[in-house]
Amino acid sequence: MNPLVSIITVVFNGKNHIEQSIQSVLAQTYGNIEYIIIDGASNDGTIDIIKKYEAKIDTFISEKDSGIYNAMNKGLKLAKGDIIAILNADDYYYPETIQLVVDKFEDTKADVVYGNMTKLRAFSGQEYLKEVEPNIELMEQTMPIFHPATFIKKQVYGDVGLFNESYKLSADYDLIYRIYKAGKQFKYINKALTVFRIGGASNVNCNSYKEGYQILLSQNSLHAAEMKALISKCQRKNLMRSIVTFIITIFGLKKWNEKRLERKWN
């Protein structure tokens, strides 16, 4: 079997890393890939980078959208593959990722295949990598797997629907939860499939917890109250981060803080 795999990348003003993302798709050891890029009318040079590879991209659309999940849904509606993946413009695959995923689907007849993810952070021009593992047993409490390292059969979207665009930050959790509740088969690859680039010590958007609470309520989860408690906890953490950032800035401790973070990631 040689199923078609559709890879969707959505981007808006992502010139710093979009080329690495594109190159990682084009460098896959598996050949039967449909590549779709949905751009939100970027104005920072992203489109020029994409056009360098336009001959190797099956579908490229650049137009305004109403948010990341709206762009993802555009891609899903265009995808022809039996297996669909969504790769963020800041992230990239390992060369053998798609072959590993296809093999897992073929061996297990899974509906969803997911794996580990490598987090990437950069300090002073140096990149630091840390592999992290998912825990699907936490599905009833929080997003338990990594969306960039998750691959879903096209038929699953036909059964449960696309992303709920009323959620602006957590529609991926809502989708994965609905797939899980529908009784679809999840199969795990104990290997890093995607490199996920994270930023600095910026505040977490606590609205993601608010949306998570609404998602759990909609599924009658017994853990909804726990998620609700995380909203205020997130707000307190963000306040503390702001205070620490202010102190670091006032006392010129930026280099010290970077060294501290480097030690943490080493």
Q: Which helix (H) or strand (E) holds 195?
A: strand 186-197
Angle at 113 between CA 211 and CA 135, to 5 degrees: 55
Strands 83-86 and 150-153: antiparallel
Whether the model pTM is above 0.85: yes
Using DSSP's 3-state secondary structure scheme, residue 228 falls into helix
The pLDDT tens digits along the chain (266 residues) read 799 999 999 999 999 999 999 999 999 999 999 999 999 999 999 999 999 999 999 999 999 999 999 999 999 999 999 999 999 999 999 999 999 999 999 999 999 999 999 999 987 778 999 999 999 999 999 999 999 999 999 999 999 999 999 999 999 999 999 999 999 999 999 999 999 998 644 457 999 999 999 999 999 999 999 999 999 999 999 999 999 999 999 999 988 888 888 888 87
Q: What is the CATH number of domain 5-199?
A: 3.90.550.10
* CB-based contacts of 45, cutoff 8 Å, min separation 6: 15
